[in-house]
Structure formats: structure tokens, C-alpha cells
Amino acid sequence: MINKSPLYLLLAIAVTLSSMFSFVSCKKDKDDDEIYYYSTSTQTTLIKSFALQDDSEVLTSLDSVHFTVDYDNGLIYNADSLPVGTDITGLKVTVQFLNSVSSALFKITGATEQADTTIEYTSSMTRKLDFSGKTVLTVTSADETQVKDYEIKVLVHKYNPDSLIWNRSWRRDLPGYRSGNTSHKVVKQGEVLRAMVYKDGECQILSATAPNQGTWDKQTVALPFVPVVKTLTATADALFILGEDNVLYSSPDGTAWTSCGVTWYNILGAYDDRVLGIIAGSDGYYHDEYPRIEDFESSHVQDGFPVTGASGMIVTENDWTVSQQAMIVGGKDSQGNVLCDVWGYDGHNWGKINNIHSSVLPALTDATLFSYYTYKTLSGVRRYARQQTWYVMGGRCADGSLNGKIYLSTTQGITWAEGDSTLAQPSYIPKFYGAQAFVAEETLTPAAGYYMPRRVQSLVTSWPCPFIYLFGGYNDQGELLPNVWRGVYNRMTNYPVY
């Protein structure tokens, strides 16, 4: 019988022999000038991990900040930069090596607090390092034949990533704006944006496939009625609007309009392939829709329901219902009271959503409501998760003044909070009411100087970033504002880390 060695033993012998030959071929005697031979090996001088030690006086969960070790380029850095203002002039570190090393020396130059110096790293080292200048960690292999330099960069955000940015240079002119325009509204019909501009009996329809499109296609339209432009609403396949005679009209693209044969007091918005509206009857106000679904029954509006002046209606997915949820904010009820309520629609029924006892939403008419994002910190670590957030901007307060604050809800409209200084409307954006907001994804690429290797499975050369586009609106004199403002949550413009 022939005794056979196990496969793993044969593999171990092969690896050992290979290592011995490699060692012999790389082994060179150092001369009197201590010449170092740099190796491409990732074994003898490889840093397995680099971390900052916990220091709550500097930053909560500082030890959970992830650092990338880029051996090829000799870089160690945190892909997700630390918050603005983080003090990096006195930090303790922990370094783990793949194999035992002869020495690891930190060379610090040009720092703001620490004089130029060289500090030897040991597992028991308690000395703090100043990373405000240039820091190079030189690792020497155990046999002292290989040396590797790693430049360490502790990156800190120059700007608060958790802020809402409205760059002045991003401002554009309102499409179709002409001096003296009195009526203007933009809606999204499927994947196309449509703008209606009406002045002195002349109507124009402008179309674009993206909100940042430079030139919008324009058509002059002869209308057989006088439109109430603020009621313009779109489903995926059609546009709807009320005339001054309260008749509901529809059009496939805004160029040719036909009567729907119904008379409404107001349009609330679009849900699926139908529009929702209000009928004014002799005994009060009723809910209606067009076209009506098979089991629809018109019913009186609820007490406190906004029959006019509510925000534009948005439709989003809901964690608690099977169907999509539509939402409106504020408005006036049948008694003329200005409301601070949030109402939702699930495809069949309307209901009040927000908790008025804990909500800070003011009573508003003609506010701008849209769905966007903020970020939350995951418990115990310096990692962040995007969360859907509902925003309310602009609108007229009950006393007639204009709202200049931003309100946010991360609970799908149940509770609201006022945005802090990082999520506030900048002073250079005029207060407004009746503006329209849309969110559009755009492709970003890393700016020059970005460290490309990140915490991703493969190299990322571009990523989608959602931007807010705020169209028009009116000032406190009722004058049309000729602006398109572009905003973004700053963190989403940074190179993706996770």
C-alpha cells in the first residue's frame, strides 16, 4: 500500500518552498549607508488596519471611523470625512500589521500644534499625534530588508455635509418668463415637465425632459376658455385645468383642450390616472374625481378639510399602507379658516395625518410640499443612512405674511420639526408662496483630487445625486418671481462611501 500525504500538507510544503525561494532572491545585505530596498510585496510591510482611538472630547464614536489602507499608492485615509471643525491636532491611533515588523515610525512635519518630529509606534503607545500637517508612517519589515511609506490623511469636511445648499450660481431664469407675467405654473406629466404661461389672453406651453434643460420647447396655444393657471395638474397621460367658468378641461399635451363635462370648485391634485377635486354644492362641498372609478361615491368633505389653498399634492409610497399615499398640507376650510393640518389619501378615502398636538407646522396657504431626503446617524457608529423626508417651504401665514422657514417630517407627515440653521431657506431666496418643487437625479463624477479607492466593491466613477428644483412662486405683492433655484443635501454630492 502507498501512503499518500493529505492535500493540505502538500500545499503547505509548496507555499513554504515558494516563500524560501522568494526570501533568498530578495535578500540583500545592507551597506554602511543603510540602503533600503522597497518591495512590492503586500506581506512584510502590510498594514492590516488603521484606526483612531476613542475620544469623546474630540468626536463621539471616533474609534468607529473607517480608514482605507491603499497599499499600492501608500495612502491611509478616511473616505467619509470627519465633521466640519473636528480637531485633529491630538489623536491617538491603533495600527495592526499583517506580520511582525522591525519598526513603525511616524514622521510629522508642518503640523499646527506639534513640532516636526519622529515618533515610534508601539502597541502600548499613548502619545497623541497631530494630523494637521503631513504625517508619514514608515514600516520596516522584521528582517529589515523591506521598507514601506504610508502617508496618513485624516480628512475633515470643509463644509457641513448635513446641510441644504442653494448655490446662488445655480439660479436660472424661470422658463417662459416675460416681464409682467401674472400666471405661471410647472407640472410633471410622466417624464416630461410642462409649464403654462398666461398673460393678456395669450397662452404658451413649454416642455422639457429635465428641469435643468437650457431651452424649453415652446408653443403658443389658442385656448377656448380663460384658464385658472394655478389649478394646472398632470397625470402621466394628460393635463387638467379649471377655467374661470369652473369647467374642468383636459389635454394630452397642453396644445388642444376639451371639456370634461364637469364643474368643480377646485382641483386638489392627481392620483394614478385621475384627478381629485372639490364640488361646491348648495349644501356644502363634496369630494369628486375624474374620471370616476367604478365604486366611487361623492361625499361631503370632512370638517376642517381644505377646500382651497392647500399645497400641491404629492404621491409617495407608504410604510403602513398597501397603496400609495397622497398628501396635502395647509389650505382653507369651508369656513375660511387657515389650516396647519396634513391630509392623506389612500386611493379611496381622505384622513387627517399629522398629530396637531405635537406638530410645529404653522397654518399656511399655498405652501410648497415635496419629498426629498435627510440623513440619520446609525446608532453607535459614524455611519449614516439616507431617510425619506417631507419638506414644506414657503406659503402664506394666517396674518398674510410669508413663511420663510423650512419644516421637515421623517414620519411620513405625522410629526414635523423646523429645520435648523443647516436646513434653512437662505436669506437671498425671496420669501414666496405658490412655487412648485421637483426632485431630479443627476450624475456626478469625482472632482480632481479625490482619493479614488473607497469602501466599495469596485471603483466608482460616477453616482446619481438628487437635486431639488424650485420654480417661480409669488412675492408678498403677488408678483411672479422669475427664478428657478437648485438645491441639494450636501452629503449626497460627496463621493459615495458605503
For the stretch 334-354, pLDDT in tens is 999 999 999 999 999 999 998
Q: What is the pTM of this model?
A: 0.76
Model confidence at 180, pLDDT cuts 50, 70, 90, reads confident
Residue 276 backbone dihedrals phi, psi, to 5 degrees: -105, 140
Model confidence at 26, pLDDT cuts 50, 70, 90, reads very low
Is residue 344 within 8 Å of 368, Cβ to Cβ?
no
CA distances from 248 to 197, 259, 291, 455 (A): 18, 6, 11, 54
Q: Is the pLDDT of residue 460 over 70?
A: no
pLDDT one-digit tens code per residue, 462-488: 889 999 999 999 999 999 999 999 999
* pLDDT score at 6: 41
* pLDDT score at 381: 56
Beta strands across the sheet bearing 192-199: 183-189, 192-199, 202-208, 217-221
Nearest to 330 by CA among 300, 294, 304, 299: 304
- How far apart CA 194 and CA 258 sit, in angstroms, is 18
Provide the β-strand partners of residue 251: 239
Model confidence at 318, pLDDT cuts 50, 70, 90, reads low
Average pLDDT over residues 414-430: 95
Provide the β-strand partners of residue 151: 75, 136
CA distances from 414 to 117, 179, 358, 375 (A): 57, 41, 9, 18
Q: Is the pLDDT of residue 159 over 90?
A: no
* pLDDT score at 478: 94
- In a 13 Å sphere around the CA of 416, the CA atoms on its Cβ side amount to 25
* pLDDT score at 373: 96
* pLDDT score at 11: 36
Model confidence at 491, pLDDT cuts 50, 70, 90, reads confident
pLDDT one-digit tens code per residue, 73-85: 899 998 888 888 8
Strand residue runs (E) in 190-273: 192-199, 202-208, 217-221, 227-234, 239-243, 247-251, 258-263, 266-271
Q: Is the pLDDT of residue 455 over 70?
A: no
Residue 169 backbone dihedrals phi, psi, to 5 degrees: -70, -15
* pLDDT score at 451: 54
What three-state secondary structure class fits 428? Answer: coil
Average pLDDT over residues 174-187: 88
Q: Is the pLDDT of residue 490 over 70?
A: yes
More confident residue, 89 or 1: 89
